[in-house]
Structures are given as C-alpha cells and as structure tokens.
Chains A and B, each alone.
Chain A
Amino acid sequence: MAISKEIYNALEAIVGAQYISDDPVICEGYRSGPGGYENGLGYERVMTTIPACVIMPRTTEEVQRIVKVCYRNDIPYVPYSTGFYGPRSHPHVEDALLIDLKRMNDFVLDEKHFYVEVGPGMVYSPIQEECMQHGAYVVIGGGGAQASAIANLIGDGWSPLSHRIGLPHRRILGTEVVMPDGEVLRMGSLATSDDPFWGECPGPDLRGLLRGYTGLRGCLGIVTRMAIKTLPFQPERLVPTGISPNTALALPEKRVKWINFIMPSKETQVKSMREIGHAEIGGAVTKVPLFWRAIAKAECKEEFWDLWGKENEETVANFFIVRVLLIGFTSEEQMAYDEAVLMDIMTELGGQARRTKPSDESWIKNADSAGMWLMCGGYVSVDYVIETLSQSPDHGPSYAELKKKYTPPLMPDYGDPGWFQSFELGHQGYSEFLVYWDQDDDTDKVDQFYVDTSKMNIKNRFYTSLLGPHQPLYLTGPKYGPNYHEFLLKVKDEFDPKWKCHPPVPLAHDVFVERAPWMHFMKDWESPDDLPK
C-alpha cells in the first residue's frame, strides 16, 4: 500500500478522520464502471482502477495542503467532482488518492451582476433553480443537471441554449486553481482582489490552462472556486409539474415556448438555422437524433425498441426537424416579434409547425442525459464539437457512415446522422454523435470505432472535440496545429513535472492503445519509446 500510515495520518490531520478512508469497501464504491458514460469498454477495463484512499476536503486550503502532501511524497491524485464523466474521471494508476470534492459546494448568487460563485461540488440544477428565482438562467450542459458546474465548464458545457449563450469558456469569471504542485493560481479579478466578478486576467489569460475546447480531464490542477456568468432570463415562473418519470416544467406561453418544425429537406433544415441566426432571434435552435423522440415517448426500454423498430433508413434519412425555443427576454411583444420573424423564415423555407407541448422536459432544468442509457446500457458521445454550420450538418453523416463497419456491437440506428444545431446566433454550428452498445457484448469494436473516428476526422479535415486526452495524443497531435501535442506536453511538464496530477493523463489514451492487444493493429502513428507504461 503506497499510502503509508504516516502519510495517511498527515492527510487525516488536514480533513479530520470522518473525511478520509482507505477502507477497501469504501474505495470499491468509487469504481468507475461497469456502468456509466464511456464505461463497459476496454478503456475502462484497461485504464481504470479503484483508489487506494479517498479524501473529502472542504476548503481550498485543505485541497492545497492535500496536494502538497501528495506532491512531496509522489502520490498520484485524481480530482473528482461527481464522477459522472466516466473512466476518465477515475484513477488510472494504482495507489492513487481520489480527492472527492463534493463537500466544496458553497454557492453565492449576485443577481445584479449576473454571476454565481460555486465550488466544484455544486451541480447544475440547484444553480439553475436559484438563477431562475432571480431573473437569470444558465446553460445546463448536455452532461446533465447532475454535472458539477465547474467540471462541466472546464470540459464540456453546451446545450441548445448555447444558440444564444455561446461557448462555455466565455462564461468563466474569477477562478481559483490549485496547481499540480499545490500552488494556488487566482485568475480574473481574483488575481488582485477577492471579488470574482470579472474573468479576464492581468495580461495573458491563464484561463487558457483550464481547457482546450474540451477538457484536460483534471491533469493540470484542481479548480476550487469559480464565478460563472449567468444570463438574464424572463420574469415568469416555469412551474415544475408531473410525477416522475413524467416531470416537466410548464412554460409560461407568452414568454417561453418551444416550437417543433418539420422541414422539407436537409438543406432547408440547415438554412432555417442560419436564417434564424442571421435574424438574431431565439433562445435555442436545434435538431436532435430521431431516437431521442423514441426515448422521450417510451415508458420503458422495451417500448423504446418497439418504437425504434418501426423506423428504418428511409424514415431516419427523411426526418428533418428543427426545434426552436423562443424566449421573451424583453417583453411579450418581443416574443411575438421573434415568433413572427420565425414564421416568416419557416414560410419561406416550407417548414411546418407541429403541435408542441407547452412544457420543457429536458433542456432548461434537466438536460436529461441520464435517459441516454435507456436503450442499451452503454453510451458515449464520440464527438460534440463546435465549429460552423458549414461543418456541423455534414459531420454526423460521416460518423454514420463509419459506424456501419462497427454495427454490431453498436446499436442499430439506421444511419441516423446525429445531432446538430446553431450556436452563437448562427455564427457557429454544433454537431454531436452518440453511440450505444450493450457492455456485455464483445465491445472491442467500440474501442476501435472510437479511435477510428479520430482518423476519420483527420482525413476529412473536421475539427473534433476528442482531442487532448480523449484520443491518442500522438495520433491527433501532428495533425492539428500542427503539433499541438508538443505544446500541450511542454505546459504539462512545466506545471506538473512529476506527473502526479491524474497520471498518465493526457497520455492515457496512448497508453490504452499500447496496452490493449485488440487496439494494436490500429496503431499507424509514431509515438515515443518513453510513453508511460
């Protein structure tokens, strides 16, 4: 046991006996899989293990002291907010200390200046509720209302609401990070005061260290405090209704409304998103995969398959839906204006409005990601990338094409081309592709598909979210930048020279390919001999 009695005692002295444990049963409770995001796959089996010890700090000072103890004594450690993100949020090496941040859930809301200040233990739905009680709203990232807001903002962080609100990076205000060696870095206005209201830093902006489109998965420090922009909402209350599993927010129809449109073609579907963006209206504009509709309707897994079994390649290929959320930020009159403009656009393009429930089941407060596991038990998004509407609508189909080779074990989805939407009022586009499998099947091909998508993106010159630690760094590195991996690794070496913060991230997927025999044939790129084993 690498965490010796002396070190355990030192750590215990920091948090108190109640908040640390190396009991094997407690540690087993922190296993990543076998269920969950990206779980039940080779990466999880080969790369993750349970911690040797779990510790739960309450304050930044405690985190700092813990990290310093680890660094001095060469103990690998892993920051953990909720553990929902799957294997990548769990220890990858033996004898690691898992730092469970759930107790750091302080919350401050500044109504006038539109921000909230949170710790890493605070998840989204309470934040959204508090915001909405004070005239504001946030984007609940697709990771769901159960995601830690901080973890989500440094890793993912978008939803259909991003049509208006935009990149999560721009919502990060004053932030505090305990760096891998235990030094504290305060950014934004926190660099020179204790007021976190402003995000930009003195000079070059070290918020660049927090993420790089998607995250670093906790290998470059622990964010202990962050102020997050909220956005002004409209004043009417959204009332929760129904009983689980059929709960929803009832929408005040004159101020918040979803409208579903059926478009005649893909071209008009994309054009409508563009036009809505150019017209600068709307709170959300999105198109989702057809099987989400089946998930929403189904009362159980078996019913999902009944519904889904009725679809085929043709129905899927001809499913052109555009969902628009109108929000009356200014007034009912403004909402009427938005709707009139929207109808103008739809009339021009032949979009037909369908009867739409005056409720939100998902995006505003729930961001219902947990339903993604209903069908098969295993799920991962193999891309969730922001680019432009020039890339986004074509991105999904290329995954759908590649996926055919790997189905089964991937779920049959009749070539569904995935999810895309408008972002930042049409200046950007977003595409996400989701895949599903049963983890009891032979899932080697899912692992292979995953890396194959990286090669596909490189070949087709698509930007992708799965860079950095998500894919083999030596595969993607030379092809983006080029050589972004060299700069990333230099930064990692500078701030974590001993590689104790969540090793071997960001090289975890490279190591996985080396270790997993069923991945060897895929390796057609160079990597150095001194890769961590």
Chain B
Amino acid sequence: MEIKSNLSKIVGAANFSDDPAKLQAYATDFSYYPAGAPSYVAKPSSSEEVSEVIKVCNQNKTPVVPCSSKVHFYGATIPKEGGLVLDLSRMDKVLEIDADNRRVRLEAGVTWEKLTTELKKKGFRVIMPLTPPAERSVLTDFMEREEPTNQVYDYGEPLEAMEVVWPTGEIFRMGSASVNGYPDSASKGGNPSGPGLDFYRFFQCAQGTMGVVTWTNLKIESIPKIDKVLFAPIDELDYANDFLHRILPRRIGQEVLLLNNVDLAAILAQDWPSDFDKLKASLPPWTLILVISGLLRRPEEKIAYEENFLAQVLKAEFSTLKLGETLPGFPGISKKVLQILRNPWPANTPHWKNRVEGASQSLFFHARPANAQYFANMVREIAAEFGYPGDDIGMYIQPIEHNRACRPEFTFFYDPADEAEKAIIRELYKVAAAELLKEGAVFTRPYGDLAPIVYEKAASYAIHLKRLKKVFDPNNIMNPSNLCF
C-alpha cells in the first residue's frame, strides 16, 4: 500500500511495522480499556520525520496516535479507530542542560530514568509526580499535568517553551523558542507563552489529539544539600488539612503529601504479599509526609528556621499532631521515602499500583481540601455498593500550592485476568466519577470513560473545544475518539 511505503521511507524500514505481533504491544495498557489495534507503528527520530509522517497520514485520513513511552495507565494511547501509532521513543535525547537558567530541553521520548540520571550528574532535578515509572516519558507527564509532589514554587508549572507538529504537519515552535533559528538564538526558550496565542495550552491534557509535542523546555531545580523527611500519623483528614493550611502558605517544605495505609503500604512493601499485608495493617489510616530541605546556601539555617517555625506552630496550635523524623514502628522509613520521592519507580519492579492485585484504576480530580474527607467517605460508600471493601481503596491526597486545592486520588485494585471483576471496577469508577462531578470535583484529565461524563456536564466547553479542534485538525486524525472528539 502506498501509505505503508511512504511511511516506511520516511522513518526507515527498521522503524516501521505492520506486523500484528509487534502492534499488539500498543493495543493495551495498564488500564482496563479494551484492546484497540493499530494498523501500523512508525518510530521517527526527528521532528522532520514526525512532520512528514503526519502529512502522509493527513492525506490519507489515517488516524495518528502519538505515544511517547510504553508505560500508560489511562488508555489514552490505545488506538480507538485503528491507524498509526507514532512511537516517539527513539526521540530520546536530552538536548540541552542549561545550568545558568536552570533549564533542560528534552525530547518526547526521554524517560524519567534517563532525565533523572542526566540531571543528577549536574546537581539538578526536575520536580516529580509521585513514583513516575522509570520508562515513562517525562514530557508526557508534564503535558498531561501529573501533579508534582513538590508544591513550594509560587510560579507553578515547570513547562517552558516547546516544539510541536500540528495535525496538518507543520513544525511549530512555541513560546520564546519560536524565534527563527532557535536554539541558535538569544532567546533560550524560557517562556512557554505565545506567540499570538497560548498554543501550548491546547496541548495540555490533550492526549495527543491536538498534535505531537516533540520536545520541550522544563525548569530544573537544584538538588537540596540537606533533606529531612518528616512524618505524622493522621486519623482525621480535616485535622491534617488545618495543619497544611497553616504551614504551606508559609512556604514550608518541598515535597508534601498524604497517603493512606493502603497506598503507602503498596509503595513501601518489598516482599509481596507479606510486607504489604503487614504494613497495611500497621500503618496509620493516613500518613502525612513533609520533606524540609536546606538548599544551596546556608542549608542548615534554612532547615533551622523551618524547624523552628514548625515547632512553634505544633506546640501552640497542633499539639496532638506528632510530626517527626520517624514514623513509630517503621525504622528507616525516612531514607526509604526520600529515595522514593526523588527517583522514578524502578523499571525492574512492577509499579506498586499493579502489585496489589495485578492491575489498578485510579480516579483523581481536583477539589478544595475541605472536601477531601467528604469525597473519601463518598467513594467508600459507592465502592461498598459494588462490593469493593472501603479498606482496600488506595488513597492519596496531593496538597497543592499553599493548600489552595488538593488532588485526591482513589485507586481500585483488581485482577486483570478476572473479566467480571474488571467490569465491576469499570462500573464503580463511572458511578463514582459521576457522583463526584455532581458534588464539585474538577476533572481536568478526562480519560476514557470520564470523557462522556465530564463533557456532558461541560457541554458548552466541549462545543468550543470541537470548534478549536476543527481549526487545527480538520480531518480529525489525531487520536480520534478521545476526549470529546
């Protein structure tokens, strides 16, 4: 077929396949979504190749499903209408590390493992979500807005200027990287915004439906000189929230998060299932984890003023909160947790979410912190209706920026080989999502089943989205049947 030969010519025969066996790898992911087989896979090595591939697909109205890594939990890269999987894993270069401006420029295929290692050599890090898989694309995580565990920076997201290929094949640089001749330019790509419109916003949480992001600039931070990981056992989420409302606006801490016993047990456990069961039984209902750090200069003094402040607040206002460097009953946890928070989840270990029962489905959204407990109770009740024990739900609350909001995440674990169980989880997920949405939960990443639920409520938004999509992807080739497209 002409399209096959064209694509093959563009990326090279070794990087093109229509072999069903090879294509199977792209047909499923860690989510419960049914398999969807692509017709071809192409692995470009450059933006020019991406551009050429997309032009060919556009001419032929062939769907294109961009895929940056092979680790996916949400079903977004499962082809829903066949077509081409555009596997960007060969585009795995860390293009620049700019220490002066604390900036890294990286291609879509760069994994957490690769980036963390490269940056560490120069004393830098990127703020990370919780346990990103080592083989997962860093760029994708930031484009899809995985919430970092480090919320201390007032300026918010680390994304800077990026390059994309539009669904009609044009290579387009955005933000301050848009200058002609970039990167050989005075402008280094520090500003993601513009030119003309904030096009980069259209690509966020787009699941590849607006085009392909080929590389991006990201902010990098220095690795702290000293870290202290603090823990507090928590019974009442509201009490923890009051504490966070008190300390986070004071710019205390680096990483801060709340994990329930199930999630924390799964993260810490080494021997399965014994460790997990033991930990789950003995960990407190919730654990607040707060990392305070000394930075490049006078690190001890920074730790000191944060500790002093915490001590005063705890004594005067939160005397029953036991925040300390240890978690009673769990020796050595501090070092372990710091390791976990600052590194991707190792590739040679199944992701903790998949270790409990084999597979999992996470329901996450944004909410006001005061509602976290309420939502947790709601999810437990709904789960119970489906026969899923409330005590087996993994829960993770990510406080956000001064505790202005939070991101609750509820994870349901199931045996992927058990189709009946999978179906129940799927129903439970949908019902819970619909109820949460009704009560004000904000879903900004409407993967799979969430999409129709969310877009029904956000009907006007969906209409405008579709109008925008028409402008850039008139043939609707980019990852069709996702979101509202």
A interface residues (Cβ-Cβ under 8 A, vs B): 112-115, 135, 164-167, 169-170, 179, 183-189, 191-193, 195, 197-198, 200-214, 216, 229, 231-232, 274, 277-280, 329-331, 333-334, 336-337, 340-341, 344-345, 385-391, 394-395, 424-429, 458, 460-463, 467-468, 476-477, 479-485, 487-488, 490-491, 494-495, 506
Contacts and interface: CB of A to CB of B under 8 A. Distances in A.
Residue from B179, B207, B405 whose CB has the most chain A CB atoms within 10 Å:
B179
B175 to A, nearest CB: 7
B6 interface: no
B195 A186 contact: no
A201 B195 contact: no
- The interface residues of chain B, by DSSP majority, are classed as loop
Given A183-B464, A484-B197, 17 more contacts: A179-B464, A187-B461, A192-B454, A203-B446, A203-B484, A204-B202, A208-B197, A232-B251, A279-B297, A329-B251, A337-B298, A337-B305, A427-B155, A460-B186, A462-B179, A480-B180, A484-B172
Residue from B180, B188, B464, B468 whose CB has the most chain A CB atoms within 10 Å:
B464
Residue from A198, A201, A344, A467 whose CB has the most chain B CB atoms within 10 Å:
A198
A204 B205 contact: yes
B198 A210 contact: yes
Interface stretch (B37-45, B277-285, B436-444): B436-444
A427 B102 contact: yes
B60 interface: no
B363 to A, nearest CB: 15
Given A113-B368, A203-B444, A491-B468, A213 B191 contact: yes
A334 B305 contact: yes
Contact of A192 (B103, B172, B443): B443
Nearest to A395: B186
Contacts of A183: 460, 463-464
Contact of A205 (B156, B201, B207): B201
B193 A167 contact: yes
A331 B305 contact: yes
Given A205-B201, A427-B101, A341 B155 contact: no
B319 interface: no
B157 interface: yes
Contacts of A390: 98, 100-101, 186, 188
A128 B200 CA distance: 30
A277 to B, nearest CB: 8
B206 interface: yes
Contact of B175 (A213, A340, A394, A506): A213
Nearest to B467: A494
A212 B405 contact: no
A463 B454 CA distance: 38
A511 to B, nearest CB: 17
A198 B366 contact: yes
B249 interface: yes
Nearest to A164: B154
Contacts of B250: 232, 329-331
B211 to A, nearest CB: 10
Contact of A206 (B173, B368, B464): B464
B195 A468 contact: yes
B351 interface: no
A386 B154 contact: no
Contact of A468 (B145, B196, B296): B196
Contact of A204 (B155, B178, B187, B468): B468
A438 B377 CA distance: 67
A428 B157 CA distance: 13
B305 A206 contact: no
Interface in B428-485: 437, 440, 442-446, 451, 454-455, 457-458, 460-465, 467-472, 483-484
18 contacts: A185-B460, A192-B454, A202-B443, A203-B205, A204-B206, A205-B202, A207-B198, A212-B195, A213-B195, A232-B249, A278-B222, A341-B298, A386-B176, A388-B98, A390-B98, A428-B191, A462-B187, A494-B470
B302 interface: yes
Contacts of B440: 189, 193, 195
B190 interface: yes
A334 B312 CA distance: 14
B308 interface: yes
A258 to B, nearest CB: 19
A201 B155 CA distance: 19
A231 B186 contact: no
B306 interface: yes
Interface of B: 98, 100-103, 145, 153-157, 160, 166, 170, 172-176, 178-182, 184-207, 209-210, 219, 222, 245, 249-252, 295-298, 301-302, 304-306, 308-309, 366, 368, 401-402, 404-405, 437, 440, 442-446, 451, 454-455, 457-458, 460-465, 467-472, 483-484
B305 A212 contact: no
A494 B199 CA distance: 15
Contacts of B460: 183-186, 191
A336 B155 CA distance: 23
Given A204-B206, A208-B200, A462 B190 contact: no
Q: Which 10 A/B pairs are nearest by Cβ-Cβ distance?
A: A166-B155, A213-B194, A208-B201, A232-B249, A461-B185, A463-B176, A388-B190, A488-B196, A212-B197, A208-B198
Contacts of A483: 170, 172
A460 to B, nearest CB: 6
Residue from A114, A170, A203, A345 whose CB has the most chain B CB atoms within 10 Å:
A203
Contact of B156 (A170, A210, A211): A170
B402 A231 contact: yes
Contact of B100 (A170, A274, A329): A274
Nearest to A193: B440
A463 B179 contact: yes
Contacts of A485: 196
A333 B312 CA distance: 13
A389 B101 contact: yes
A188 to B, nearest CB: 8
Contacts of B156: 166-167, 170
A391 B197 contact: no
Contacts of A210: 198
Contacts of A476: 195
A253 to B, nearest CB: 18
A427 B195 contact: no
B209 A204 contact: yes
A189 B199 contact: no
Contacts of B462: 202
Contact of A201 (B199, B297, B461, B463): B461
Contacts of B145: 200
Given A203-B446, A207-B198, A197 B404 contact: yes
Contact of B155 (A115, A170, A429): A170
Contacts of B204: 200, 204-205
Given A390-B188, A429-B190, A337 B301 contact: yes
A102 to B, nearest CB: 27
A191 B188 contact: no
B187 A213 contact: no
A487 B196 contact: yes
A509 to B, nearest CB: 13
A491 B197 contact: yes
A330 B187 contact: no
Residue from A183, A207, A333, A391 whose CB has the most chain B CB atoms within 10 Å:
A391
Given A191-B461, A203-B484, A387 B154 contact: no
Contacts of B197: 208-209, 211-212, 216, 468, 484, 487-488, 491
Contacts of B182: 461
A340 B468 CA distance: 51
A481 B156 CA distance: 25
A265 to B, nearest CB: 17
Contacts of A481: 172-174, 178, 195
Nearest to B189: A388
B301 A198 contact: no
Nearest to B463: A183
A336 B296 CA distance: 16
